[in-house]
């Protein structure tokens, strides 16, 4: 037993030295994860600020100016121009100069004073459906506030302060300010930890084969199991260190609250990286060169990310695709990370996400061991 441990530790030291001495491998492990996290944290957001809009006001009344003042006073909108001709609407939207055109009809004030419904038209750039939907919701909030203020003013003028409408008060739990960064950055911990772990593990055996040193490894007194563990543990350790570093960036750079227990978080991360190491070893067992190992890693990363719920909810996918996500370790780690970060969920609530990861990791290592033994020669 002591001899086996000594063999594994010696191979681990060799792997770390090979990784740190190779400039390409060292660069892949250290710099891209930091750059990706920072860039993604600022670039990947559904939050819209300073939305350019134009106004086509045919009413020119006090009522229309009161409505438009709500837009001008909002931090979400930025007035670009006042339109004088109907044909300018298409020109501005086609040129992407504005995302919203507010059109107020001539009878807007007259209908309001008569107690009749008065319509306001919002013309949106629908080429990006998600952005258009967000802009529409922002504008609807402005119109709703205008209606509430107008009703209160009318009631005050008539001396009837008790007959105002019911007011909807919305409170958002967990993410009070609806910052999409709080949703994305915790997921980046799992995404980058998986990528780095796969790269380190999958390249380990492929590097030996490409440099011609794998045959030398086979003539050593080490068994295939010891070689497998010696190749797996460095990737596991580096994955944990990388995840910890991204966690620090999320908490101290982006100020994302970590409301749950670190013990629960690391319990999920350890099992997740255990599963990632198995995938990396499978890739390394099948790859004959470093180029094939890199290709295998990125061939796995793309569908795994799409089927993880990172950007789109799994519930919105077709039933067949939802079943495929069951074997995807990213699906579970995202729930764990976001649960601990945003919700402060305890271990008992996340245990149903941790044990599937453990099963996936065990199956991955068994398959990797089988492939490793049958392709080792």
| Partners of 104 in the β-ladder | 57, 120
Query: How much is the pLDDT for 166?
Result: 46
CATH 3.40.1710.10 in the chain: give the residue spans.
51-158
Phi-psi category of residue 117: left, alpha or beta, with phi > 0 → left and psi -120 to 50 → alpha: beta
- Distance (Å, whole) CA 342 – CA 333: 14
- Distance (Å, whole) CA 161 – CA 10: 82
The fold of 51-158 is abc type-2 transporter like fold (3.40.1710)
Query: How much is the pLDDT for 165?
Result: 46
3-state class of 51 per DSSP? strand
Distances (CA, A) of 71 to 57, 102, 149, 358: 13, 10, 14, 52
Could you read off the pLDDT tens digit of each residue along the chain, which spans 377 residues? 777 788 788 888 877 877 777 776 677 677 777 787 777 777 666 667 889 999 999 998 988 898 899 888 888 899 999 999 888 998 998 888 999 999 998 988 888 888 788 888 999 988 777 788 888 888 888 888 888 888 777 776 665 544 444 455 666 678 777 777 888 889 889 999 998 899 888 887 777 777 767 666 666 777 777 777 888 888 899 999 989 999 999 999 888 999 999 999 999 999 999 999 999 988 888 887 888 888 888 899 999 999 998 877 888 888 999 999 999 999 999 999 999 998 888 999 999 999 999 999 999 888 888 887 776 55
- Distance (Å, whole) CA 356 – CA 364: 12
Query: How much is the pLDDT for 285?
Result: 80
3-state class of 102 per DSSP? strand
Query: How much is the pLDDT for 258?
Result: 92
């Amino acid at each position: 037993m002591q001899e086996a441990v000594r063999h594994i530790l010696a191979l681990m030291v060799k792997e770390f030295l090979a990784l740190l001495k190779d400039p390409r491998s060292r660069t892949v492990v250290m710099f891209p994860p930091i750059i990706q996290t920072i860039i993604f944290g600022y670039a990947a957001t559904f939050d819209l600020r300073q939305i350019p809009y134009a106004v086509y006001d045919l009413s020119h009344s006090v009522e229309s100016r009161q409505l438009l003042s709500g837009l001008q006073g909002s931090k979400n909108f930025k007035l670009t121009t006042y339109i004088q001709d109907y044909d300018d609407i298409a020109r501005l939207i086609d040129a992407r100069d504005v995302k919203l055109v507010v059109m107020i009809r001539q009878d807007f004030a007259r209908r309001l004073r008569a107690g009749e419904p008065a319509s306001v038209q919002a013309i949106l750039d629908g080429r990006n459906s998600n952005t258009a939907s967000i802009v529409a919701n922002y504008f609807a909030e402005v119109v709703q506030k205008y209606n509430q203020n107008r009703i209160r003013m009318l009631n005050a003028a008539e001396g009837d302060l008790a007959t105002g409408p019911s007011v909807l008060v919305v409170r958002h739990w967990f993410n009070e300010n609806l910052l999409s960064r709080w949703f994305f950055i915790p997921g980046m911990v799992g995404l980058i930890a998986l990528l780095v772990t796969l790269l380190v593990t999958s390249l380990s055996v492929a590097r030996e084969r490409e440099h011609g040193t794998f045959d030398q490894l086979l003539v050593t007194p080490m068994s295939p199991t010891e070689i497998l563990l010696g190749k797996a543990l460095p990737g596991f350790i580096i994955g944990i260190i990388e995840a910890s570093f991204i966690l620090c960036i999320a908490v101290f750079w982006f100020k994302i609250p970590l409301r749950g227990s670190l013990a629960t978080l690391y319990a999920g991360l350890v099992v997740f990286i255990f599963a990632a190491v198995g995938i990396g070893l499978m890739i390394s067992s099948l790859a004959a060169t470093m180029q094939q190992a890199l290709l295998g890693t990125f061939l796995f990363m793309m569908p795994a990310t799409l089927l993880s719920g990172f950007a789109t909810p799994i519930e919105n996918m077709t039933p067949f695709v939802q079943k495929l996500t069951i074997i995807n370790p990213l699906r579970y780690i995202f729930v764990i990370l976001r649960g601990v970060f945003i919700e402060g969920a305890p271990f008992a609530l996340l245990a149903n996400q941790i044990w599937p990861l453990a099963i996936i990791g065990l199956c991955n290592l068994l398959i990797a061991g089988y492939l490793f033994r049958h392709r080792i020669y």
